[in-house]
Amino acid sequence: GTGLSILSALQDLFRLSKSKVEKQLQIISVLQWVLTFLVMGIACTLILMYILCTDCWLIAALYLAWLVFDWNTPKKGGRRSQWVRNWAIWRYFRDYFPIRLVKTHNLLTTRNYIFGYHPHGIMGLGAFCNFSTEATGVSQKFPGIRPYLATLAGNFRMPILRDYLMSGGICPVNRDSIDYILSKNGSGNAIVIVVGGAAESLNCTPGKNSVTLKNRKGFVKLALRHGADLVPVYSFGENEVYKQVIFEEGSWGRWVQKKFQKHIGFAPCIFHGRGLFSSNTWGLLPYSKPITTVVGEPITIPQIDNPSQKEVDFYHSMYVDSLIKLFDKYKSKFGLPETEVLEVN
């Protein structure tokens, strides 16, 4: 009896220790991504400049020579690595929230797709985890489909960061890159575009489900030019993981944010999450709230080399209606009341 009690106590202690270790690994995995998002590009640039001024300058010089040679690779589909996409760290990243990917329809490998991802949130954590890693099984759920998460082109001008992003299948969100993937990379490609972009990030806050979409029609025009099917994607919980100071329209704070957005491409947000050592303190770590990304039904799009504004408006309206239906169908399953309405701005 005493031996069994000791064994049971040791097993409980082992499980408790294992749980604590896993939690710490989850925190570390999320922290490294937050730091990557916020400072890796600038930090790598400064380090490279410093190395050029040291005895190790040849290493930096060789990398810069490689950078010049490799400059256009991000515009040509990048250089994804299945090894990087399958790192164990991404599974800890997934489990921290947790993040889940829900498939509602099959996707044909003979077609190309443009996924419209909503909402942006502060960092697009659900978009990254689901489509730039294999943590939620995107390749198993959509066999034969290669997802490319599109992000700011400026990120690919940053040394080291550009290579890190490309390894996950991330590409610049510009016409050259998207045209190449949809026209010169065969079929079975899915460009994931966070349609609301920086403007949408300025309005994300817990408890609010709104998207910036009414005047965002460029992705529809691209879909028509390439005959790529449109797929609405909504991430329930994306807005819940950070709290943000929202500046009202006309305020000095919103003016500064819009100036940054116009000239630099991103909007500086004043936000906070939890602290590194306690969920009761403020910090850069997101709150561990569940994020569920639902991939909706594809909308078949014809190929029209020079679509008219009327045609763009027609398919844009179809897309908006499809996104609203997707939200309404799944909102109650993921913690929202039946009365919740998706606000389309």
6 pLDDT more than 80: no
What's the rounded mean pLDDT across residues 317-340? 96
What's the domain range around 32? 2-344
49 pLDDT more than 90: yes
What are the tens digits of pLDDT across the range 228-283? 999 999 999 999 999 988 877 778 787 887 777 776 666 778 888 999 888 888 99
- Residue 158's pLDDT is 93
What's the rounded mean pLDDT across residues 61-88? 95
7 pLDDT more than 60: no
Quick one: angle between helices 57-69 and 41-52, nearest 10?
130
- Residue 8's pLDDT is 59
Q: Report d(CA 146, CA 144) in Å as an integer.
A: 7
Pairing of strands 170-172, 146-151: parallel
Q: pLDDT band for position 82 (50/70/90)?
A: very high
Q: pLDDT band for position 14 (50/70/90)?
A: low
Per the structure, how many domains does the chain have? 1
What are the tens digits of pLDDT across the range 90-126? 999 999 999 999 999 999 999 999 999 999 999 999 9
- Residue 248's pLDDT is 77
What's the rounded mean pLDDT across residues 192-203? 89
Neighbours of 176 (CB within 10 A): 13
What's the rounded mean pLDDT across residues 133-144? 97
Exposure b/e, 52-66, CB count within 10 A at least 16 = b: eeeeeeeebeebeee
206 pLDDT more than 60: yes
Pairing of strands 170-172, 99-103: unpaired
- Residue 144's pLDDT is 96
- Residue 261's pLDDT is 73
The residue that leads in pLDDT, 115 or 5, is 115
Q: Report d(CA 216, CA 345) in Å as an integer.
A: 10
Which residue type sits at 198? A
Q: Report d(CA 228, CA 195) in Å as an integer.
A: 16
The residue that leads in pLDDT, 143 or 277, is 143
Span of 23-32, 168-177, 193-202 with lowest mean pLDDT: 193-202
Check: CB of residue 224 under 8 Å from CB of residue 147.
Answer: no
